[in-house]
Structure 1
Amino acid sequence: MYTNSDVKNQKQSFVVGVENYEEDLFLEIELGTFYTTHLHAQLIANSVKHIILFEDQILVKFKNKDFISITDDFLKYAYKFRLCTKPSMPPIDVSKLTQQEKDDLIYNEAYIVTQDDMKEVNWDIKTAFHYLQHRYEARDKEYFFFGSCSYYVIPTSQQIDQEGMRDAT
């Protein structure tokens, strides 16, 4: 019989990725498939510190100062872009709002982006870079920082009984 702590420490395969954004352009990067515990897979996803888009590459920087460089020739399958099609709402000066108005604003659907508001685009890195340059009048900008949005950890196989593995070997 397994205890709760045994189940938490069992290894299995997880697909781990992150989604970040710059203005209305969202970038999803699949970091890979890892054979590990669920907690460790979450730590891998949370280890991403910055994602920077250059004209010819995407740089993924990790908290331990390591990095991955993604180009259209190397790891192209690891990323995809999505555009938010929901019209932007004007900025609000929240300092003038009451606490109740602030609480209501958090749940205001006009400011909440859902998957239905996203449109996948089949862009290469250069196209995405030039889109941001032109859309936001940043023609002299050499890179764009993508802000943190979310991560995902998706199990891909059944958990493996660690004791059974030891007995079988």
Structure 2
Amino acid sequence: MYNQRQAKNQRHSFVVGVEYRYEDLFVEVELGTFCTTLLHAQRIANSINSIILFKNHMVIIFKNAKSITISDNFLKHEYQFRICTKPTMRPLNLSAFTDQEREDFTQNQSYIVNEENKKEVNWNLQTAFQYLQDRYDAQGRTNFSFGQSSFYAIPVSAQKQKEIQHETS
């Protein structure tokens, strides 16, 4: 008999990735396609601790302190940069807000960036690094540390799953 617990633990193929942000620049990194449960796919995506952009490479640091390096010669097609097109709002001192004002602020759409506010750019790592140096007057900086924005685990279609299983068997 089929029950919800069995369905919850069934293995499927998921495309897993993360999106990290430094100010108005987002970088999406596809970690790969995994045949696993949804919960485990989410754990894989959540296993990244930080992403650091250098002039000629990007380092992805995992929570277990291991890391991988991405360069334009290695894993070039596994990342995509997006720029935020929404005008920058001035910073506010939230400590001066009442509880109700803080609650209203968290719902204020002028401070929330969504997918419609992001524009894909066809940049390599060096171009993204140069953009951040120029944009934030940081010519002496040797790296930029991106903070987590979001992660995803997208189920792969049944047809695509069959193709993946055929390729791996």
1:73 partner SS: coil
Corresponding residue of 1:125? 125
1:79 matched residue in structure 2: 79
Distance in 2, matches of 1:41 and 1:59, equals: 21
Aligned mates of 2:115, 2:126 — CA distance in 1: 25
Offset of 1:35 from its aligned partner? 0.8
Q: Aligned residue for 1:52?
A: 52
Counterpart of 1:85, as a letter, is: T
Aligned match of 1:154: 154
For 2:64, the aligned partner's letter is N
Letter matched to residue 123 of structure 1: W
Instruction: State the match for 1:135 in structure 2.
Output: 135
Q: How far apart in 2 are the matches of 1:98 and 1:65?
A: 40
Match of 1:94 in 2: 94
Whether the aligned pair in 2 keeps the contact of 1:48 and 1:60 (CA below 8 Å) is yes
Identity of aligned residues (%): 54
How many angstroms apart in 2 are the aligned matches of 1:63 and 1:98?
36
For 2:64 and 2:117, the matched residues in 1 are separated by 34
Are the equivalent residues in 2 in contact too, given 1:12–1:157 (CA < 8 A)? Answer: no
1:65 aligns with: 65
Residue 62 of structure 2 aligns to which amino acid in structure 1?
A: F
1:31–1:78 contact (8 Å) kept in structure 2: yes
Which entry has the higher C-alpha Rg, 1 or 2?
Answer: 1
How many residues in Structure 1 have an aligned counterpart in Structure 2? 158
Structure 1, unpaired ranges of 5+: 159-169
Report the AA paired with residue 84 of structure 1.
C
1:92 partner SS: coil
Q: How far off its partner does 1:157 sit?
A: 3.5
Which residue of structure 2 lines up, in the alignment, with residue 165 of structure 1? none
Shift of 1:77: 0.7
Q: CA deviation at 1:116?
A: 1.3
Identify the residue that residue 4 of structure 1 maps to in structure 2. Answer: 4
The amino acid that maps onto 1:110 is S
Structure 2 gap ranges (5+): 159-169
Q: Which runs of 4+ in 1 moved over 2 A?
A: none
- Matched residues in 1 for 2:109 and 2:10: separation? 39
TM-score of the pair, normalised by structure 1: 0.91
Deviation at 1:95, TM superposition (A): 1.2
CA distance in 2, matches of 1:97, 1:9: 44
Which residue of the partner structure matches residue 32 of structure 1? 32
Deviations 1:6-63 (A, max 9, x none): 1111111100000000010000000000111111101100000010001111111111
TM-score, length-scaled by structure 2: 0.91
What is the CA-CA distance between 1:145 and the residue it aligns to? 0.4
Write out per-residue CA displacement over residues 44-89 of structure 1, whole angstroms, 9 at most, x where no aligned residue. Answer: 0000001000111111111112211111111111000000011111
Q: Distance in 2 between matches of 1:12 and 1:45?
A: 15
